[in-house]
Amino acid sequence: MSYEPTIGVYFSANDVVYDWAIAFLNSYRTFNPDLRLILIPFNDQCDRLLKLSDTYQFEIYTDSSFSRLEAIGKAFELGHTPTGPYWFRRYASFWGTLDYFMYLDVRQVVLANLLPFIEAVRNLEFDFLHYDCAVDQVYERGAFRQELLKQGRGRGFLSGIWASYKGLFSLEEFEQLAQEALKIRDQLNPRNTDQAFINYCCDMKSVRYGHFAEVIGGICQNGWARQPGKIYWENEKYYLWDYGGLDHKKQIFLLHWAGYKLNALMPHKQLFYKSFLMNKQIFSWLFIYLNFALDYLKHIPVQSLRRQRFFNTRYHKIAKIVSQNFIIQ
């Protein structure tokens, strides 16, 4: 199948998330063998990852605007996520080589042909389409959020899965919006800097945005791995079995593990390993699953403690004190 060369997908990664990237790339090329794919390097630590470009047929996009985008990120950073400014590089996609595109983080596996989700922006005349929403991960409780919600804005969408088109924002426009957003920094999530930023930009510009599931229909409302139900394969597509749930028997086009570390306790791990181990020899499978079992035994006691209110509360109190001391220094 041939695709328009100006339609495709951007993704961001580095060598730190190499294993995640392998699973992502395998799954992407399984369902999108010819759709253009472009890497936005997360930072300079990408030597291993760049060697995969021929195998998975992805291009590398670098731009002089990266440093200015990182400067915006640094201005929003409160000391919680030292690597946070690098996430802002993804927004160079608005003046990149693709006219219509989707942006994806690599801590996910692709489970469907993505072209219809990109073309929906153009064909349905939207400016921006997003997926999962969690307003508390974007805006703090308060008057600013309440006013946005009264105006039908403030959806609080995830910044790791979205589709848009070239030219919706310019670098200069981002810098101007950043100056305005910094005036209400206390009304934005303290940790998710790039997520709060792009939501603020879309809300202040009154971008015509919508949710993939609501606009297209027939797909799950969320792609987060922790959602209830079981994922199954039928008629060349993945669906969610959640009897009695709103997404029962709806298609799931990707699955993401935002907020999760790569270990044996993450939900739906079998889908990750299916993509990660693709094309590997049987010895690799045995080795990985042995490590998988050992990893499970190592983490299960810690996970058990984390779920107990007594230990969890004290852990977060200590973490808060450490974080405050870090910011003061």
Question: What pLDDT digit, counting tens, does each position of 12-29 carry?
Answer: 999 999 999 999 999 999
Count of C-beta atoms within a 10 Å radius of residue 149: 14
- Residue 143 pLDDT greater than 90, yes or no: yes
Quick check: is 260 in a domain?
Answer: no
Are 92 and 186 contained in the same domain? Answer: yes
Per-residue confidence at 328, pLDDT binned at 50, 70, 90? very low
Quick check: is 189 in a domain?
Answer: yes
CA dist., res. 220 & res. 252, Å (int): 5
Quick check: is 2 in a domain?
Answer: no
Please report the DSSP string for 105-173 in residue order: ESSEEE-S--HHHHHHHHHTT-SEEE--B-GGGTB-SSHHHHHHHHTT----B-TTEEEEETTSS-HHH
Quick check: is 268 in a domain?
Answer: no
Q: Residue 324: which domain range?
A: 280-329
Strands 100-105 and 161-165, bridge-based pairing? antiparallel
Name the residue with tokens 């109190």. 317
Are 146 and 290 contained in the same domain? Answer: no
Are 169 and 93 contained in the same domain? Answer: yes
Are 299 and 153 contained in the same domain? Answer: no
The pLDDT, as a whole number, for residue 329 is 46
Rounded to the nearest angstrom, the gap between the alpha carbon of residue 243 and the centroid of all alpha carbons in its chain is 27
Question: Which of 160, 190, 216 is the last residue before a domain boundary?
Answer: 216
The total number of structural domains in the chain stands at 2
Highest mean pLDDT among 141-150, 273-282, 300-309: 141-150
Quick check: is 154 in a domain?
Answer: yes
CA dist., res. 79 & res. 216, Å (int): 39
The pLDDT, as a whole number, for residue 244 is 95
Question: Which of 194, 216, 238 is the last residue before a domain boundary?
Answer: 216
- Residue 297 pLDDT greater than 90, yes or no: no
The pLDDT, as a whole number, for residue 4 is 83
The whole-chain average pLDDT of the chain stands at: 90
Give every strand in the sheet of 59-60, ordered side by side. Answer: 59-60, 36-41, 7-13, 100-105, 161-165, 128-130, 209-211
The pLDDT, as a whole number, for residue 264 is 76
The pLDDT, as a whole number, for residue 35 is 98
- Residue 193 pLDDT greater than 90, yes or no: yes
Q: What is the CATH number for 72?
A: 3.90.550.10
Question: Which of 167, 189, 216 is the last residue before a domain boundary?
Answer: 216
Are 43 and 157 contained in the same domain? Answer: yes
Give every strand in the sheet of 237-241, ordered side by side. Answer: 230-234, 237-241, 250-251
The pLDDT, as a whole number, for residue 212 is 98
Mean pLDDT value across residues 45-54? 98
The pLDDT, as a whole number, for residue 311 is 53
Mean pLDDT value across residues 48-76? 98
Quick check: is 89 in a domain?
Answer: yes
- Residue 323 pLDDT greater than 70, yes or no: no
Name the residue with tokens 């009154």. 206
Helix (H) / strand (E) element for 50: namely: helix 47-50
Helix (H) / strand (E) element for 45: namely: none
Q: List pLDDT tens digits, range 103-112.
A: 999 999 999 9
Q: Going by C-beta distance under 8 Å and a sequence separation of 6 or more, which residues neighbour residue 50?
A: 39, 41, 60
Quick check: is 117 in a domain?
Answer: yes
Are 301 and 173 contained in the same domain? Answer: no
Are 129 and 18 contained in the same domain? Answer: yes
Per-residue confidence at 162, pLDDT binned at 50, 70, 90? very high
Quick check: is 251 in a domain?
Answer: no
- Residue 91 pLDDT greater than 50, yes or no: yes
Mean pLDDT value across residues 235-257? 97
Structure-token pair, residue 328: 């003061």
Percent of the chain surpassing pLDDT 70: 84
